[in-house]
Structure 1
Amino acid sequence: MRLQKIRKPIVITTAFLFHSLLIFHLLFSPVIIILASNKGIVNASFFSFVLIFLLSLFFGRAYCAWFCPGCGVQEIVGFVIKKKAKYTKARYIKYVIFIIWVSAIITGYLVRGFTKIDLSYGIENTPFERKLLLTLGAGLIIVPLALIFGRFASCKYICWQAPFMILGKKIRDRLSLPGLRIKTNAANCRKCNACTLKCPMDIQVMKKVQCGEIVDDECILCGNCIDACKSKALFYSISTPSKPLN
């Protein structure tokens, strides 16, 4: 079974629903949660980001590829833009953004405290025009970056959610906990490089096949490499790390 025939319809549908219903900003906006924290309000996006982190302790970054509305936009863009964003040091920009962003949220709660839970904060009293701008804001960032740098540029370089999952995955691997991974069978590898060519995150997959597992912070477990490999050298596995971390 080709995984992309399952994954792409799911993630594209997610993107369509979240954007058309104007709720993307309510659950994932990096702006609304800062505004909420400065009023001491625990809003819906607070729980969304906590949930994303907790899920990453088992699923790693699979959410990115399978359910993230932003990834759905990337897949739609991919019908037109074929160039991939390069695997460069620019990927560290997202960590700088993450640190500044999380610091702003924490500061807000330290100053205001936790006064109440309001899951609808940011949607009930927000004018339609602002909802539209906040919801479509992700697309207004994703599309230009894809045009300039290639597909998945925003995921790779500036995504404010990715560090949550990378941190969760690192904790999981440090503790050698079982989780969803892409394992490899080096003996089956024909060194055709098809896996690397199909990787949307521009990871040098073939070079990692010899390690027994695809270990890379940018791996979103999309399964493109698994589909591309005709010799079945890559496969999903619920398991512990191939090599325990020291």
Structure 2
Amino acid sequence: MLSPRLSRAEPLNYTRMCFLVNCLKRLKSSQQWLSRQKADPYVEKAKIYNYRCRSAFKLLEMNEKTNILTPGLSVIDLGASPGSWTQVAVQKTNADGSDKTKPKGMVLSIDKLQIFPIEGATIMSNMDFSTIEAHDKVIAVLGDKKVDLVLSDMAPSATGVKELDKDRIIGLCYMAIRFAALVTKINGNLLFKVWDGKEVPILEMDLERFYRNIKILKPKASRSDSSEKYILARGFKGIQRPLESGRWG
């Protein structure tokens, strides 16, 4: 029989062991991430072209196929931090006015996190786009105008629980759709990220109520082991009746 002293020590040793195991897991995960970053050609390209992160090449590739970003367009980038999609949007819409021969566009970027300034973009940092406050500020910037395109490369912080993470990103998608419906002009477009799953076909059917064409995109710049893909909804029909709460809210 174990002595009382050993019995009392056992939970402490077990706690320490769990802590060490978790630390080793985090270390291994960090090492794998660093190795992947070093081997990723898009990470190096992002440095060369002065993009804030590799995701810029996802948008560049999708735009090459769809031509959704052109000079003179007005764009809102949701969950924009650190700003690589905003950088691409500014370049492609000529929002910085760098090409005097082409129409000048407008790019508005929103995120809960800090976004460092990007020339040609209006930045709204530390702001949750789903709030009434954010909507009021966006309307104040837009005036009586509406936008041509809403972008969203948002994803929730991973919990490690696969089904929960998928539910959370679907929730973000519906919030982005609702936001877009309130600020997009007729025939405008919406591009957003989703993780593959059984909920996606339902999401597509809901989108068909508001957009004329739905297309799934998987850019090569998306990592091969990632379940992410992008939905491009084109040809906004307008809102025929008030948006419902629940799934849309």
Q: What is the TM-score of this pair, normalised by structure 2?
A: 0.28
Name the structure with the higher helix share.
1
- Which structure has the greater CA radius of gyration? 2
Name the structure with the higher strand share.
2
Higher relative contact order (CA 8 A, sep 6+): 1
Q: What is the TM-score of this pair, normalised by structure 1?
A: 0.28
